[in-house]
Structure 1
């Protein structure tokens, strides 16, 4: 077993000798989402590294940090490959619900395409609090997890050929668009994501280069920490605490081990 495989299992808390199968992927995705946070601290601190397999390994499995979609889904992609899955990475465009349009940054979201028994699925560990927590087939079938309901709709557009839709638990009453992505352009070389990292770090309309953000799924909902607020969703109830920089550091360590 490779060091990446061993350390990834150690970080999320699954035994080294446990066989990871398609049937147990939901369990693995939940463990990953509850352990490794979605966060932009390296972007905020202007401390980014070139995106390579080694740099992702060091950041997420040695330094035990989190990351953004292109980091989290890339390391999970490598983990899937190590465990015998057929997978590729793909780029997509996130939908902005405030402006009711797709982000103008281009295809800056990274997701995973997994093929099992001639069926392709979306697998995503890098979409903040919107994670399906299970593989979602490209057939339109609705997948239900503790985080809500998810489906993939075929919809050709300038942004790709499929759209991930969701109804988050305790939050949404109607289907909403998550992101569009292109299944026809699979990616295996993560160096392509250096372009994404540059856009995220430098573009004036990037949502991730202005204020720190850390979030992860919990057993009862999710936690979101910014430099001004700490928001906790638990069993459909939400609490929000206004915080200062000292409290931010305390909460980052307490709830996210950062």
Structure 2
């Protein structure tokens, strides 16, 4: 067993000697989402590094930090590859429902395509609070999960041939567009992910270089932390606590195990 394979299992609490089958991916995705936070602390502190297997291992495994989509899905990609899954990576463009348009930062979302027994699946553990928690087949089949309903539908646009649709529990009554991607434009090298990181770091339109954001799925909902508030959504109910800078750092360590804040 490789160092990353063993360390990632320890990080998320998955048995070291258990063979990872396709049917067990749901458990891996659930454990990953409830263990490794979606967070932009390195972007906000401008302490970024080129995306490599080694830098991801240091950041997410050794230092027990989280990351954004291009980091969370990249470390999962390496883990799946080392467990003999046929995987590659894709870039997508997020749909902004408030503006009813595609993100002006372009294809800055990264996710995984997995091929199992002739069927392609979308795997994503880096979409903030919108995580499917299961592989989504590129067949249009609706997948019902603890976080809602998801499907990957074939739809040709200038941004690709597929779109992720989602109907989040306690939030949506109809399917909403998550992002578009091109299933034919896959990659296995990390250079495109470093490019995504640079856009997120420097583009004035990026939502992730304005203020700290930390989220983590819980068994019944999601915890969200910003410098102004700690929000806990549990079983459809929301509590919100206004906080100051000292409380922000304390809560980041208490609930998300992050102690690297500047």
TM-score of the aligned structures, taking structure 1 as reference length: 0.99
Instruction: Map Cα deviations across residues 111-144 of structure 1 (whole Å, 9 max, x no partner).
Output: 0000000000000010000000000000000001
* Other-structure match for 2:85: 85
Q: Distance in 1 between matches of 2:240 and 2:182?
A: 37
Instruction: Map Cα deviations across residues 201-220 of structure 1 (whole Å, 9 max, x no partner).
Output: 00000000010000011000
User: What is the deviation of 1:98?
Assistant: 1.2
User: What is the deviation of 1:50?
Assistant: 1.0
Structure 1: unaligned runs, 5 residues or longer? none
Instruction: Map Cα deviations across residues 78-103 of structure 1 (whole Å, 9 max, x no partner).
Output: 00000010000000000111101110
Instruction: Map Cα deviations across residues 42-90 of structure 1 (whole Å, 9 max, x no partner).
Output: 0000100111111011100110100000000000000000001000000
User: What is the deviation of 1:159?
Assistant: 1.0
Q: Distance in 1 between matches of 2:139 and 2:15?
A: 33
Counterparts of residues 1-258 of structure 1 (less than 5 Å)? 1-258=1-258
Q: Distance in 2 between matches of 1:143 and 1:180?
A: 18
Instruction: Map Cα deviations across residues 165-217 of structure 1 (whole Å, 9 max, x no partner).
Output: 10111111111010001111111001221111110000000000010000011
Q: Distance in 2 between matches of 1:50 and 1:190?
A: 8
Aligned length: 258
Q: Distance in 2 between matches of 1:53 and 1:9?
A: 16
Runs of 4+ with >4 A deviation: none
Q: Distance in 2 between matches of 1:190 and 1:62?
A: 20
SS of equivalent residue, structure 2 residue 134: coil
Q: CA RMSD in A?
A: 0.6
Q: Distance in 1 between matches of 2:160 and 2:248?
A: 38
User: What is the deviation of 1:246?
Assistant: 0.7
Q: Distance in 2 between matches of 1:192 and 1:168?
A: 29
Q: Distance in 2 between matches of 1:142 and 1:207?
A: 29
SS of equivalent residue, structure 1 residue 35: coil
Q: Distance in 1 between matches of 2:216 and 2:191?
A: 26
TM-score of the aligned structures, taking structure 2 as reference length: 0.97
SS of equivalent residue, structure 1 residue 179: strand
User: What is the deviation of 1:19?
Assistant: 1.1
Q: Distance in 2 between matches of 1:23 and 1:52?
A: 28
